[in-house]
Amino acid sequence: MLGVIGAHKIDDLFADVPADALNADFDLPDHMGEMAVERALGAMAAKNRAAGAGPFFVGGGAYKHHVPATVDHIIQRSEFLTAYTPYQPEVAQGTLQYLFEFQTQVAALTGMDVANCSMYDGSTGCGEAALMARRITKRIKAVVSGGLHPQYAAVTRTNLELVGGQVDCAPIDPGAKEDLAAQIDDDTACVIVQNPDVFGNVRDLAPIAKAAQAKGALLIAVVTEAVSFGAVKSPGEMGADIVVAEGQSIGNPLGFGGPYVGLFATRQKYVRQMPGRLCGETVDAEGKRGFVLTLSTREQHIRRDKATSNICTNAGLCSLAFTIHMTLLGEAGLRRLATLNHQAACKTADALSAVNGVAVLNQRYFNEFTLRLPKKADDVVAALAEDGVLAGVPGGRLWPDDPQAENLLIVAATECVSDEDIRTFTLKLREALQ
């Protein structure tokens, strides 16, 4: 091969590299066989306690659900796993058709007109939604609910402050009692409210949607538990202008936080201000229906410095997992799954609220709720973990600087929780509080 090229040795091809930088020394090991790699990484995996190893009640933006075996089999097919972004539609109709189906499912779930073919995750989608509201309204301020996941709020702050925007975060609101209407003014681009909120409260978005829109601002609804779409009135029905959601719950494993799949939907009139990729229907030269990526004049590879976002990828394979699982569920399956989640949460809340000194703070909730404990939730979670129960997210983990959150414990219960798990959790919590 070197002969055809006209070179003598490989490093002739690297002649443009400064000589003193070529063939550097590295403090790294040489290659290993497949068995040895599997053993080494298997040892690291074995140091972790998997969610399925015992009673498990951790939520807070990522949820343990059962994923049918069919999903993981299909996403490992070579034609999906090892394909590129479908820029050559004639040989990418498989990817494009599922993206079109995905967009339709997301629009239906959120109660919106249109959805894109996914964002990196829910939190980055939230940041992008705030930027989109800024583009639409030409205003600088985001009013953020005290029920928004604090890491979502932090991402939004990072995104907005970068371009001179302003973020007004309300104090934590475990009882869903805040009234944000007073904070909306002529500079407000959007109000961001999570539902169910980070404490598990199911909120009525209609009043705040009206209040925001009356002042020319947009309501951004955030959903971190996608299974709730099967039980709770959709954000679209309650008047949201943009809906962002974390789609991990459907089809995707917990995976220590990623990769996940962000859902992003809005009203028809805002479609050209949307970030991310869109798949659209068209026809081919013979008149047959086909699909292409479209409205790319919004995107970086065409618009460069005028793009709506710098996003270049979506969450392709995770959106495939989402859409396969949703197709397997269908309307009937999703509703049943949601009912099973709600049932597990109601039973867990009833059992735990019978423990001395423990109060459930929520009125309306779906599969997650918040307890006020008589002592620091961090310590309680640590004690229960010793006993093999992963009890939930302690307030101190999400709001390390807020003493009001110290005794709060956010508990999620999904279809994976058994009656036995609930009994064990209750027993161990009682012991830990004695």
Partner 1 sequence: MSMNNQGRPTRAVGAATSGAASTFTGNKALQIEEGLIFEIGHFAETGVDLPEPEGVESRLGDLARSSEIGLPGLSEPETMRHYVRLSQKNYAIDMGPFPLGSCTMKHNPRLNEKVARLPGFADLHPLAPQDSVQGALEVIDTLAHWLKELTGMPAVAMSPKAGAHGELCGMMAIKAAIDARGEAGVRTRVLAPESAHGTNPATAVQCGFSVDGIPADDTGRVDLAALKEKLGPDVAGIMVTNPNTCGLFERDIKAIADAVHEAGGYFYCDGANFNAIAGKVKPGDLGIDAMHINLHKTFSTPHGGGGPGSGPTVLSDALAPFAPAPFVVKDDARYHLVESRAAAKEEGEAASSIGRLTAFHGQFGMFTRALSYMMSHGVDGVAQAAEDAVLNANYVQARLKTEMTAAFDGYCMHEALFDDRFLKETGVETVDFAKAMIDEGYHPMTMYFPLVVHGAMLIEPTESESLRELDQFCDALIHLAKKAKAEGPDAFKAAPIHAPRRRLDETAAARKPVLRWTPERPPQAAE
Residues 250-309 touching partner 1, rule: CB under 8 A, are 253-259, 261, 268-269, 271-272, 277-292, 294-297, 299-307, 309
Specify the residue, 27 or 182, whose C-beta has the smaller distance to partner 1. 27
Site for partner 1 in 47-66 (CB under 8 A): 47-53, 56, 58, 60-62, 64
Question: Minimal distance in Å, beta carbon 217 to partner 1?
Answer: 20
Specify the residue, 108 or 181, whose C-beta has the smaller distance to partner 1. 108
User: Nearest 5°: CA angle at 264, between 262 and 270?
Assistant: 155
Q: Using CB under 8 A, which of 133, 211, 320, 409 touches partner 1?
A: 320
Token reading at 271? 């479609």
Which amino acid does the sequence have at 335?
R
Question: Minimal distance in Å, beta carbon 25 to partner 1?
Answer: 9
Using CB under 8 A as the binding rule, whether residue 214 contacts partner 1 is answered as: no
Q: Using CB under 8 A, which of 38, 179, 185, 431 touches partner 1?
A: 38
Count of residues of this chain found to bind partner 1 when the rule CB under 8 A is applied: 202
Using CB under 8 A as the binding rule, whether residue 423 contacts partner 1 is answered as: no
**Among 240, 246, 310, 242, which Cα is nearest to 275's?**
310
Task: Report the b/e string of 74-106 with b at 16+ CB within 10 A.
Answer: ebeeeebeeeeebeebeebbebbbbbbbbbebb
Q: Which stretch binds partner 1 (CB under 8 A): 16-24, 134-142, 177-185, 351-359?
A: 16-24
Q: Which stretch binds partner 1 (CB under 8 A): 133-141, 182-190, 212-220, 395-403?
A: 395-403
Q: Using CB under 8 A, which of 169, 231, 351, 361 touches partner 1?
A: 231
Using CB under 8 A as the binding rule, whether residue 353 contacts partner 1 is answered as: no
Strands 368-372 and 188-194: unpaired
Using CB under 8 A as the binding rule, whether residue 2 contacts partner 1 is answered as: yes
Q: Across the strands, what pairs with 141? A: 166, 188
Write down how long the chain is: 434
CA–CA separation, 182 and 299 (whole Å) = 36
Specify the residue, 46 or 182, whose C-beta has the smaller distance to partner 1. 46
Q: Using CB under 8 A, which of 8, 16, 171, 177 touches partner 1?
A: 16
**Among all chains, which residue has been given the structure tokens 């009937």?**
332
Using CB under 8 A as the binding rule, whether residue 417 contacts partner 1 is answered as: no
CB atoms within 10 A of CB 418: 11
Which amino acid does the sequence have at 299?
E
Helix 150-162 vs helix 122-137: crossing angle, to nearest 10: 40
Compute CA distances 122 → 155, 219, 312, whole Å.
10, 16, 16
Query: DSSP states of 309-324 as a string?
Result: -------HHHHHHHHH
Q: Which stretch binds partner 1 (CB under 8 A): 121-129, 133-141, 182-190, 210-218?
A: 121-129
Using CB under 8 A as the binding rule, whether residue 123 contacts partner 1 is answered as: yes
Using CB under 8 A as the binding rule, whether residue 185 contacts partner 1 is answered as: no
Site for partner 1 in 139-158 (CB under 8 A): 149, 151-152, 154-155, 157-158
